[in-house]
Chain A
Amino acid sequence: EVQLLESGGGLVQPGGSLRLSCAASGFTFSSYAMSWVRQAPGKGLEWVSAISGSGGSTYYADSVKGRFTISRDNSKNTLYLQMNSLRAEDTAVYYCAKVADIVVVPAAIHDYWGQGTLVTVSS
C-alpha cells in the first residue's frame, strides 16, 4: 500500500524558513517522480514543485522559484521541500504527491497523495 507522510509544517514568521519532509513507503521510491502541491485555506490546488525519480531534474512554479528547493534522498525514501523567504501568501496545506512516471512529463498524473502538512506564515 502506497503511503506518503508529510511533516515539518508549523508557524513561521514572514521571511523565515521551513523544511518539509515526505516519507514514502509501499513503492520503489526512486522509480517515480514526486511533486509538492499546496492548498491555501478555503482555496483550490496549486502545483508548487516537482522532481524526477533520480533527482536530476527539478521544476518550480514561478510563485516559488528562487525561494523553494525540492530534493529527495532515495536511500531514505524521503522527499523534501526547503522553503526560504516565506511570505503570508505561502500559507497553505502542503501535499506531497507521487507521480505515475519516473520523469516529470506534461501528462504527469498525481496518483497518490499524502494527508498534508499545514504551513502558516504570520507574525
Chain B
Amino acid sequence: QSVLTQPPSVSGAPGQRVTISCTGSSSNIGAGYDVHWYQQLPGTAPKLLIYGNSNRPSGVPDRFSGSKSGTSASLAITGLQAEDEADYYCQSYDSSLRDWVFGGGTKLTVL
C-alpha cells in the first residue's frame, strides 16, 4: 500500500487529454512538500517529467503539465500520442515516515 495513491491505469485515444491523480495526506503533499512526476517507458529507467509540482525539465513537451492542490497533485497530458504509453509515478516527501515516497504508479494506455 503506497503512501501516495494513484489510479492503477488510465487510457485515452490519440489526441485526447488524460489526467493522472496522486492523492496524499497532511504529512506529505498536504504539508506543502513538492511533488515530482516520472515517466517510465516499457523496459527502461524512469525519467524526470515534472518537478516542483508544475515545472518541466528542458526537452519535455508542453503537452505535459502538473498541478497541486491541498493533499493531491495531478499530471495532465494533452494531445495524447502513442509514444506516451508508459507508467507514470508521482514522488514527494513524507514527514511522518521521514522518507521520500512514490505513488504506486499509473499505466497509461493509448487506445
- Chain A residues near B (Cβ < 8 Å): 35, 37, 44-47, 50, 61-62, 95, 97, 100, 106-116
Contacts and interface: CB of A to CB of B under 8 A. Distances in A.
A108 B45 contact: no
- Give the contact-size bracket for chain B: 20 to 34
B7 to A, nearest CB: 13
B105 A44 contact: yes
Interface of B: 2, 33-34, 36, 38, 44-48, 51-52, 57, 89, 91, 93, 95, 97, 99-105
A81 to B, nearest CB: 16
Contacts of B102: 37, 44-47
Contacts of B45: 95, 113-116
24 contacts: A35-B100, A37-B46, A44-B2, A44-B105, A45-B89, A45-B91, A47-B100, A47-B102, A62-B97, A62-B99, A95-B45, A95-B46, A100-B51, A107-B34, A109-B34, A109-B52, A110-B36, A110-B46, A110-B48, A111-B51, A113-B45, A115-B44, A115-B45, A116-B45
